Amino acid sequence: MDSMTPSGINRRALLSTLAMAPALSSLLRAIPATAQTRATDVPLPSWNEGSAKQAILDFVRTTTDQSSQSYVRPEERVATFDQDGTLWVEQPMYSQLVYCLDRVPAVVAKRPDLRNVEPFKTVLSGNREAMAKLSMKDLEKILAATLTGMTVEDFNAEAMKWLETARHPRWQRPYTDLTYQPMREVLDFLRANGYRTYIVTGGGQDFVRIYSQRIYGIPPEQVVGSAGATKFGYGKDGKPLLTKEPRLLLNDNNAGKPEGIHLMIGSRPNAAFGNSTGDREMLEWTDAGAGTRLSMLVLHDDAAREYAYGPASGLPDTKVGTFTSALYGEARKEGWPVISMKNDWKRIFAFE
Residues that bind a copy of itself (CB under 8 A): 1, 3-4, 6, 9-11, 13-14, 16-17, 20-21, 23-24, 27, 30-32, 35, 74-75, 152, 194, 196, 205-206, 209, 213, 219-223, 227, 229-233, 239-240, 242, 249-250, 255-256, 258-259, 262-267, 281, 284-285, 288
Give SS3 for 149.
coil
Neighbours of 193 (CB within 10 A): 18
Q: Ramachandran region of residue 172, left (φ > 0), alpha (ψ -120 to 50) or beta?
A: left
The smaller minimum CB distance to a copy of itself, of residues 101 and 199, is found at 199
CA dist., res. 44 & res. 38, Å (int): 12
Smallest distance from a copy of itself to CB 194, Å: 6
Smallest distance from a copy of itself to CB 257, Å: 8
Smallest distance from a copy of itself to CB 332, Å: 17
CA 341 to chain centre: 17
Please report how many Cα atoms fall inside a 13 Å half-sphere around the Cα of residue 121, on the Cβ side: 4
Smallest distance from a copy of itself to CB 157, Å: 14
The smaller minimum CB distance to a copy of itself, of residues 97 and 255, is found at 255
The smaller minimum CB distance to a copy of itself, of residues 12 and 347, is found at 12
Considering only CA atoms, which of 337, 293, 296, 221 is closest in space to residue 72?
293
Residues forming a β-bridge with 84: 88
Smallest distance from a copy of itself to CB 351, Å: 25
Based on DSSP, count helices (H) and strands (E) in the chain, helices before strands.
16, 7
Smallest distance from a copy of itself to CB 104, Å: 25
**Per-residue b or e along 120-149, where b marks 16 or more CB atoms closer than 10 Å to that residue's CB:** bebbeeeeeeebeebeeebeebbbbbbbbb
The smaller minimum CB distance to a copy of itself, of residues 263 and 315, is found at 263
The smaller minimum CB distance to a copy of itself, of residues 73 and 170, is found at 73
Query: What single-letter amino acid sits at 117?
Result: V
The smaller minimum CB distance to a copy of itself, of residues 62 and 243, is found at 243
Smallest distance from a copy of itself to CB 243, Å: 10
Instruction: Give all strands (DSSP E) within 205-337, no chain letters.
Output: 223-234, 240-250, 271-274, 294-299
The smaller minimum CB distance to a copy of itself, of residues 190 and 250, is found at 250
